[in-house]
Amino acid sequence: MDRPTLDERIRKSLIRFGKKNPFCYRLALPLLAAEVFVSRLVRHLKGSTAKLCMLGSGALFFAVFCSFSFPLFTGNQTALGIIDFGELDESVSLAAEEASATEEELSALQSEVEGQGDAGVSESFRAEEILAELLAHNAELEQEASETTDEGTDRDPDAKPEEIDPASFSPDDWRLILINKQHFIPADYEFSLAVIKGNLQCDERVTKDLQRMLEAAVEDGIRLDIISPYRSDDHQEELFEKKIKLYMKGGMSYLEAYQEAAQAVTIPGASEHQVGLALDITCATYRQLNEGFADTKEGKWLAENCYKYGFILRYPKGKEYITTIEFEPWHFRYVGVEAATYMTLNDLTLEEFWEELF
């Protein structure tokens, strides 16, 4: 038997490398093609040293040229869409981690992320329980406000739609800030968090309307659970990475996993939770954050009534192509009563609202 030639050995090790994980597979394929091409050429030119030297220097030049133009090495974002150098760097470590993951780790991660949608936290607060805290907090705010000038935050809960003048909306209104994958949170965005209870925090300017909404829900016999509205930047990043890992463990490449994760978890820096203007709400009888919540009594009540208290269902069904986020019947965004009423009655997402008015 002949010993395997150098060619065969290279090819075998490339194939072995490619089987390691999806990232290696993508890298190994072009290398394999190049190897076949080069070995054919070498065989063709065997015996002619001058030609071989020319070919060698040509190949060297080509390799150097490629290393400058291929986005993997330069961080050129156009060729790979939204992926940048840092993220690809991470993919290598993620890919390595994936290779060593055990079944238990996989299922632990699965249960950690699954069913918790964009929240990723199991801590939730019964509306009845936090109402007392909200009342106390708002009473304090009122006291402070009465000492200064009243901003007129006490609006009619059923704002008359015909009285809303679209010209009165301003793109500089903090309540209308557009945050999505194209509009990241501005670096100089400032806000104060109100700690309602434990981890339950949100922009302090939202608490008054939140209180009114929860009171109305309790009155209507609707039992809501609020899931930590505010999420720190670190926490958002952690969630996003977990989702990517989960998809990669399911066999996706890093790029596929990134794009999939971007639909399910908001990209860090592009989440309304990071500025305390979004709330995830479920109920005691349906704790999972998925489409099913829309069919519960509580989900329906929220969808119908939230605008009266300044909230909108931020990622509605049928508008996924605009929001680029899957239907989330549990995610509510504060925009103020007038804007929420206007958007709800005109069936507008926040993106469409901006497009139409500003």
Beta carbon nearer to Zn ion, 280 or 298 = 280
Cα 79 to Cα 55, 87, 118, 243: the distances in Å are 29, 14, 29, 24
Rounded to a whole number of angstroms, the minimum distance from the CB of residue 328 to Zn ion is 6
Nearest CA-CA partner of 355 in 171, 224, 205, 221: 171
Cα 317 to Cα 191, 332, 356: the distances in Å are 30, 13, 20
SS (H, E, C) 129-149: HHHHHHHHHHHHHHHHHHHCC
Distance, CA of 76 to CA of 79 (rounded, Å):
7
Rounded to a whole number of angstroms, the minimum distance from the CB of residue 179 to Zn ion is 12
Interface mask (CB under 5 A) for Zn ion, residues 167-196, using x and -? ------------------------------
Is 328 annotated as catalytic?
yes
Tally Cβ neighbours within 10 Å of residue 340: 24
Q: Are strands 200-203 and 193-197 parallel, antiparallel or unpaired?
A: antiparallel
Q: Which amino acid belongs to residue 283?
A: C
Q: Taking a C-beta distance cutoff of 8 angstroms, is the pair 71, 43 a contact?
A: no
Return the residues of window 54-113 that contact Zn ion according to CB under 5 A.
Answer: none
Rounded to a whole number of angstroms, the minimum distance from the CB of residue 169 to Zn ion is 24
56 CB-near residues (< 8 Å, 6+ apart): none
Rounded to a whole number of angstroms, the minimum distance from the CB of residue 280 to Zn ion is 4
Beta carbon nearer to Zn ion, 18 or 229 = 229
Distance, CA of 135 to CA of 207 (rounded, Å):
9
Q: Give the binding-site size for Zn ion (rule: CB under 5 A).
A: 3
- What is the helix (H) or strand (E) element at residue 193, kind and residue range? strand 193-197
Beta carbon nearer to Zn ion, 203 or 280 = 280
Q: Which amino acid belongs to residue 182?
A: Q
SS3 202: strand
Beta carbon nearer to Zn ion, 28 or 239 = 239
Beta carbon nearer to Zn ion, 209 or 280 = 280
Interface mask (CB under 5 A) for Zn ion, residues 112-131, using x and -? ------x-------------
- Given the residues 328, 351, 355, 356, select the one marked as catalytic: 328
Rounded to a whole number of angstroms, the minimum distance from the CB of residue 227 to Zn ion is 8
209 binds Zn ion (CB under 5 A): no
- Please select the residue that binds Zn ion; options are 137, 212, 249, 331, rule is CB under 5 A: 331
Query: Looking at 205-213, 216-224, 279-287, 299-307, which segment touches Zn ion (CB under 5 A)?
Result: 279-287
Tally Cβ neighbours within 10 Å of residue 236: 21
Beta carbon nearer to Zn ion, 98 or 272 = 272
- Please select the residue that binds Zn ion; options are 280, 294, 302, 336, rule is CB under 5 A: 280
Rounded to a whole number of angstroms, the minimum distance from the CB of residue 168 to Zn ion is 28
Interacting residues toward Zn ion by CB under 5 A = 118, 280, 331
Q: Which residues are known catalytic residues? A: 328
